[in-house]
Chains A and B, each alone.
Chain A
């Protein structure tokens, strides 16, 4: 038996919106301590990793580990039934064939229920090693979104360069070349801060179109954390207050 109730259901709605363009069918792992999922996009370039702790739920019960295979596209359709102020409850029996999703609005007394059919997914699970990232950049999520969006209109690829003084996003395309450079900024206004933790500088190139997809999660968190290592995929991380973390991994582009 699994049951989890989230008071701020909008968070779940935003999570589904933030991953639905990247992954299609996903195994959701339920454990007594929380909910997690890991899934790659069809081209094996990007990976979504979500971890939600039971502590963030108003009510949480999972007697055993369970795997719930869902179509994210269909889950997104169901989530559209939810009002932004709804509480969301997820329920599944042992050996379940469907996931029951309940939306409740205590103010308007409206309740919506949907039984989403579960599917069997044979997905590849990757072992992601613990990595000591040599550059970690914490940046306002709205600002990072805007930078990626605007640069994408100029080039398909961005080069991210870090050093102890700044992080630089540079593009080169038919239109020309240029860069956005952000220095370490720990101003009093927290939302303006850009925090650089660089032990070794990194220079890597990435497909901007994926970053734009990841940035849908910017509504979940005021800050985006970019974790870089010269020999590893980029991690774009969004902390979800009191509940967990949504991470995206993106493989770099390498010069031929």
Chain B
């Protein structure tokens, strides 16, 4: 199972 990163859901502000 692969742990996703938050940065793949949210973009930099």
Which A residues form the contact surface with B (CB < 8 A)?
Answer: 40, 43-47, 124-129, 157, 205, 207, 232-233, 249, 251-256
Contacts and interface: CB of A to CB of B under 8 A. Distances in A.
Contacts of B13: 125-127
Contacts of A40: 6
Interface residues of B, number: 13
Interface string B1-13: 1111111111111
Given A45-B6, A157-B1, 15 more contacts: A43-B5, A44-B5, A44-B7, A45-B5, A46-B6, A47-B6, A124-B12, A127-B11, A233-B9, A233-B10, A251-B5, A251-B8, A252-B4, A255-B2, A256-B2
A251 B3 contact: yes
Contacts of A45: 3-6
A207 B5 CA distance: 12
B1 A251 contact: no
Nearest to A250: B6
A179 to B, nearest CB: 17
Contacts of B12: 124-127
A117 B8 CA distance: 34
Contact of B10 (A43, A128, A254, A255): A128
5 contacts: A40-B6, A45-B4, A127-B10, A127-B13, A233-B9
A254 B5 contact: no
Contacts of A47: 6, 10
A75 B7 CA distance: 27
A212 to B, nearest CB: 16
A157 B4 CA distance: 13
A127 B12 CA distance: 6
